Structure 1
Amino acid sequence: MSLIGSLFSGVSGLRSNSQAMNVIGDNISNTNTVGFKSSRSVFGDLFSTILNNGSVTSQIGQGTQFVGSLQDFSQGAIENSTNALDMAIDGQGFFVVNNGQGNFYTRAGQFRINDNGVVADIGGNALQGFRITGGTVGTTLESVDLAGVQSAPNPSTQFTLGANLNAAAADDTNPDSTTTFTSPVSLVNSVGEQVIASITFTKKPVAGRWDYTVSLPAGNGTVNPATPNNSGSLIFDTSGNLTDILDQSAASIGVGDLTLTLDFASPAASGQTVTWDLANAAGNSNGKVTGFAAASNTNSVVQNGFPTGILTGLSVANDGTINGLFSNGQSESLFQVALADFLAPTGLTRTGQNLFAESGLSGQPVIAAPNTGGFGSVLGSTLELSNVDLAQEFVTMIKTQQAFQASARIITTTDDLLTETVNLTR
C-alpha cells in the first residue's frame, strides 16, 4: 500500500469524527429538551487491502467510516409540573399522537387543550387514547377530545333530614300558639334543577304526635296525593325517640323509610320517587328526627342528587386515566391514554419535535393501556427530562477531538514523507 493510501485513511478519520461531533453537539444542545433521547456514534472500519496473494497476515485497513448513530431510550429524570396534562412515562412505551394524517410516537408529554378542546402537544398533534363511557374503556383509538364534556345530572332518590320537633310546643288546638314547623329539603329533579321541597310538621293534641305534609313550591310541581306516605304522622316516645309512623289513614306502619312520589311541572321533568331515610338496618329510628323539649330546628339535610356540572379541572392516574373534575363536585373518568411500544425502538425514524415514526427496522407498534404487560405507568403533573449525561458527553467530545486531531496529523506526517520521497531525486 502506498503513502497515498495513508492520506485517505487520515481523511476518513476527519470525516467520521466530524460527523461524531455533530451527534455530540445534538445531544448537548438538547439537554433541556423534554423527553429527548440521546444518541451515540457507531464507527466501522473500511475494507482492507490484502497484500501477498491473499495472506491473512498482510491485511491493511483503509481507515474508518461513520456507520450511524444509535438512540439511547433509557429513562430520563422526572420533574414535577403544575399542569395536570403534563405526563411522563415511568418505564417502557411511547405516547401516541396524530397530526391528522398518521400516528407518531413520543416520550415528550407536554400536552395542553387546544382551541378545539382536543388534548394536543405544542405542535398541534392530538394525543390518542381510549374513550371511557359509563365506566367501560373503549377499544377504538381516538383523539382525546374534551370539548363539550359535562357531568349529567343525577336526580335525588334519597334524603336524610336532621331535625328536632319541640315536644313542649303547643298543639293545633291552641290557635294563639305556633303549632307548625317547616323543614326545607333541597332535591334535584331529572333535568338537574334544584327544587326545594317543604316538609311541614304540625303538633297534634295526642302526646308525642306530629303530623307531616310534603309539598313543592307553586309552579314546580305537586306531591302525588295518592301515595300513602306523602303525608302522615310521626310518633315519639317520652324520651323523644321516633317509635312509630302513621300513614294517611292513621294506620300504624312502624318505623321505616318513607317513599315519596313527586311530579315536577316546570321545567318539565320526570316524576320521581324519593326515599326519606328514617330507619336503620335494624328497623329502628336512625336518630335523625327527634322529639326533644327544645326549639324546633333543622340541623342537616343530606341527599344523593346533584345538578349538571361543567368541567373545571383534570387529573391523570397512574394507569393513564384522565379524570374530569366538575363544578357539581363530581369526578368522572373520561379517557385512558394509550401507549405504544416496538420490538426495536432504535429502528424508529426521527422526524423532529421529539417525534418518532414507524419504520421497517422498528417493527409495528404494539398499542395498549399503561400498567399492562411490559408497559410503564403514566405520571400526571410530571415531565420526563432529557436523558443526556453532560459529563459523559464532554468526555466523548474530548475523545472525538483528539481522534480528529490525530487524523489530521496523519495527513501532515504523510505529506512530510511524500516531500522527502520527492527530494530523493535531487
Structure 2
Amino acid sequence: MSLIEGLSGLNAASEQLSVLGKNIANSATVGYKSSSVDFTNVLSSQLNSANSGLSTQTGGGVLASNVTQSFSQGAISNNTTPLNAAISGQGMFVLTDPVLGNTVYTRNGQFTQNSDGYLVNGSGFKVLDITGTAISLPISPHDTSPTSTQTYQVDTVAFTSSLSPYGTVTFGGLTYTNTDGTTLTATEVAAIFTGLSAGATKNAAISSGTFSGVLGDYTTSTGTVPDTYLGMTLSAATTAAAQPISVTHGSYGAQSCVSVSASGFLTGSDPIVETTTVGTDTGYLNSMSIDTDGKIIGSYSDGTTATLAQIGVARIPSNTGLRQVGNDTWMQTDKSGVPVIAAANTLGRGSITGSALEDSNVNQTTDMVALLAAQQAYQASAQVVKIEDQIYQTLIGMNG
C-alpha cells in the first residue's frame, strides 16, 4: 500500500505546486484572485477488526480534493488611464463576449474605448451598464456637448461726447478721420459706423471726413444705452449723452471685445466699450472620467459636463461558486446563484475608483514559503515511492 500512498502524495504535491506556481506567476495580474488546495485523507483499510472487534482505519493516501479561490480585496493602484476602474468592496464588473454572447464577470477593470466607441476590456469583451446593456461612448473629439449652444457675442460701443475737428476714431480696424474742420456730435459719430457689416471699407471722402482700413468680423447696428460700465453705474448725464452701437461678432463663442480707440473728443475720453452678451460655442468632448458611482463623465471644451453612461456592478450571492473561464473572468453556476446588476454603492456593492486598478491579492511571501513545503512534500513522497520500489524488487528477487 505504501507505493499507492507515495504516488498519491506525489499527485497532491504536484497539484499544490501547480496552484502555487500559478499564483506566483499572476502576482502582477490585475484583479487576479489567488487559489489554495484542499487536501483529504483517503482511508483504505481496517486493522484488528477480526480479532478484537475494534475497527482501526489507516490512511491510504492523500487527495487534492478541491481548489478554492480567495476573493479578498486587492490593493488599489492609481494610474493616468481615464477609463480604468477598480472596485473597492463587493461586486464584479459585467462583460459580454461579442462572439459567443456569454455574460462573464471580472475584477479586472483595464477598460478602453474601441474604434466603434464601445467600452471594452483587453480581450474585446464589452462592458455592461446598470441595465445590462453594452456601454457605447461618444468618439472624441467630434462629439458635442448635449447642453451646449451656439450664440454670438454682442458688444456695446457708446460715444458720449463730440469729436473735434481733425479728431480720429478707429473702430474694429476701420479708421475715420474728421478732416473737414467741423465738430461732430456723438450722434453723428455713432451714425458713421452704424449699419456697417464685416469686411466693410470706406476709402472715399464723405461729408466731413474720410475712412481707411477694413471693419473686422462684426456687424454694427443701433444699440441700447448701457447703464453700467465695468461694473460701475453710469451717471444720468453720461447715459443721456451716450449714443450706442450694437456690435455682433461673426463667430460663435466668446470673443475679444471689439477694439475702439479715439483721439480728439472734446472731453478727452475714449468711447465706452463693453461686452454685454458673451457668446457661447459648441462644446467638444475633451476628456472622460469615472466617479465613485461608476458614472462616466464627459468634460467638454465649453466647460460643461454630462453623464455618458454608468458602469454596472454585479453582486454575486456566492463568489466561490463561480466557474473560472480564463481572461480574468468567471461565469455563474448553480452554486454561485444569480448575479444581480445595479449601480455601485447600492445594496452592499462596493464603490468604484476611476483611473485605478485592483492589484492581485496574491501574497508572494506566503506562497513562496508554501512552495518550499510543497517541494519537500513532493521529494518525500518520491522517496517513499523509491524505497517501496526497492522493497518490491527485493521480494521479486527472493521469489526468483
TM superposition shift of 1:310: 3.2
Gapped regions of structure 1 (runs ≥ 5): 131-139, 183-201, 251-259, 267-291
Q: Which amino acid aligns with 2:233?
A: N
Counterpart in the other structure of 2:70: 72
Task: Select 2:332's aligned residue among 354, 358, 377.
Answer: 358
Q: Is the 8 A contact 1:46 1:64 kept in 2?
A: yes
SS at the partner of 2:133?
Answer: strand
Q: Residues 238-297 of structure 1: CA distance to partner in whole angstroms, max 9, x if unpaired?
A: xx734679xxxx9xxxxxxxxx9x9xxx9xxxxxxxxxxxxxxxxxxxxxxxxx984224
Identity over aligned pairs, percent: 33
Q: Which amino acid aligns with 1:150?
A: T
Match of 1:295 among 242, 248, 270: 270
Deviations along 1:185-232, one digit per CA (max 9) or x if unpaired, are xxxxxxxxxxxxxxxxx9469xxxx99x998968xxx99x9xxxx965
Q: CA deviation at 1:334?
A: 0.4
Q: SS state of the match for residue 61, structure 1?
A: strand
Q: Alpha carbons of 1:25 and 1:180: their partners in 2 closer, same or farther (altered >3 Å)? A: closer
| Contact in 1 for aligned 2:132/2:341 (Cα 8 Å) | no
CA drift of 1:347 comes to 1.4
C-alpha contact 2:148 2:304 (8 A) present in aligned 1: no
Q: Return the offset for 1:181.
A: 7.8
**Cα distance 1:232–1:402, how it changes in 2: closer, same or farther (>3 A)?**
closer
CA distance in 2, matches of 1:181, 1:127: 57
Query: Which stretch of the first structure deviates more once superposed, 410-419 or 23-32?
Result: 410-419
Matches within 5 A, 1:164-179: 165=158, 167=160, 169-170=161-162
Under a length normalisation based on structure 1, what TM-score does the superposition of the two structures give? 0.67
Q: Name the structure 1 match of 2:16.
A: 20
In structure 2, C-alpha distance between the alignment counterparts of 1:166 and 1:217, rounded to whole Å: 19
Structure 2: distance between partners of 1:215 and 1:79: 62
Q: Partner letter of residue 344 of structure 2? A: P
Q: CA deviation at 1:28?
A: 1.3
Residues 90-116 of structure 1 deviation map (CA, whole Å, 9 limit, x = unaligned)? 222111111131211111111111121
Q: How do 1:85-100 residues align onto structure 2 when only pairs under 5 Å count?
A: 85-100=83-98
Q: Superposition RMSD on alpha carbons, in Å?
A: 4.3
TM superposition shift of 1:360 = 1.4
Work out whether 1:145 is the aligned partner of 2:145. Answer: no
Which residue in the other structure is 1:63 paired with? 61
In the other structure, the counterpart of 2:300 is: 326
* Matched ranges for 1:377-416 at <5 A: 377-416=351-390
Q: Secondary structure at the match of 1:333?
A: strand
SS at match of 2:129: strand
What is the rounded CA distance, in whole Å, between the counterparts of 1:78 and 1:142 in structure 2? 27
- The normalised TM-score by structure 2 is 0.71
Q: Is the 8 A contact 1:170 1:178 kept in 2?
A: no
Taking a change above 3 Å as real, the CA distance of residues 153 and 16 of structure 1, as seen in their structure-2 partners, is: closer
- Check 1:242–1:29 CA distance in 2 against 1; reply closer, same or farther (3 A cut): same
1:241 pairs with one of 233, 240, 244: 233
Between the aligned partners of 2:8 and 2:96, the Cα distance in structure 1 is: 41
Q: Following the alignment from structure 1 to structure 2, what is the Cα–Cα distance between the partners of residues 361 and 216?
A: 79
Determine the C-alpha separation between the residues in 2 that align with 1:411 and 1:91.
Answer: 47
Alpha-carbon distance in 1 for matches of 2:347, 2:125: 26
Q: 1:56 to 1:388 in 2, by over 3 A?
A: farther
1:410 deviates by 2.2
> What is the distance in 2 between the residues matched to 1:67 and 1:368?
35
8 Å Cα contact 2:137-2:309 kept in structure 1: no
- For 2:283, the aligned partner's letter is G
Does the Cα contact within 8 Å between 1:84 and 1:380 map onto a contact in 2? yes
Partner Cα distance (2:40, 2:344) in 1: 39
**In structure 1, what is the equivalent of residue 319 of structure 2?**
345
Q: Alignment partner of 1:45: what SS? A: strand
Q: How big is the shift at 1:373?
A: 2.3
Q: Provide the C-alpha distance between the structure 2 equivalents of 1:119 and 1:357, rounded to a whole number of angstroms.
A: 20
Give a deviation string over 1:290-313, Cα, whole Å, max 9, x none: xx984224355553x633333232
Question: How far did residue 424 of structure 1 move?
Answer: 7.2
Amino acid at match of 2:36: R
Count of aligned residue pairs for this structure pair: 341
Pairing partner for 1:35 from 20, 31, 36: 31
Task: Give the whole-Å Cα distance in 1 for the aligned partners of 2:31 and 2:293.
Answer: 19
How far is the alpha carbon of 1:67 from its aligned partner? 0.9
Of 52, 56, 59 in structure 1, the residue corresponding to residue 48 of structure 2 is 52
2:281 aligned residue: 307
Distance 1:235 1:351, change over 3 A: closer
Q: Which amino acid aligns with 2:145?
A: S
> Is the Cα–Cα contact under 8 Å of residues 31 and 360 in structure 2 kept in the other structure?
yes
The DSSP-based 3-state class of the residue aligned with 1:383 is strand
> Could you list the runs of 5+ residues in structure 2 that have no partner in the other structure?
173-184, 199-218, 241-245, 251-266
> Helix, strand or coil for the counterpart of 2:93?
strand
Q: Conserved in 2, the CA contact under 8 Å of 1:164 and 1:295?
A: no
The letter for the 2-side match of 1:36 is Y
Asked whether the 8 Å contact 1:170–1:177 carries over to 2, the reply is: no
Equivalent residue for 2:208? none
Aligned to 2:102: 102
C-alpha distance in structure 2 between counterparts of 1:357 and 1:215, whole Å: 72
AA aligned to 1:26 is K
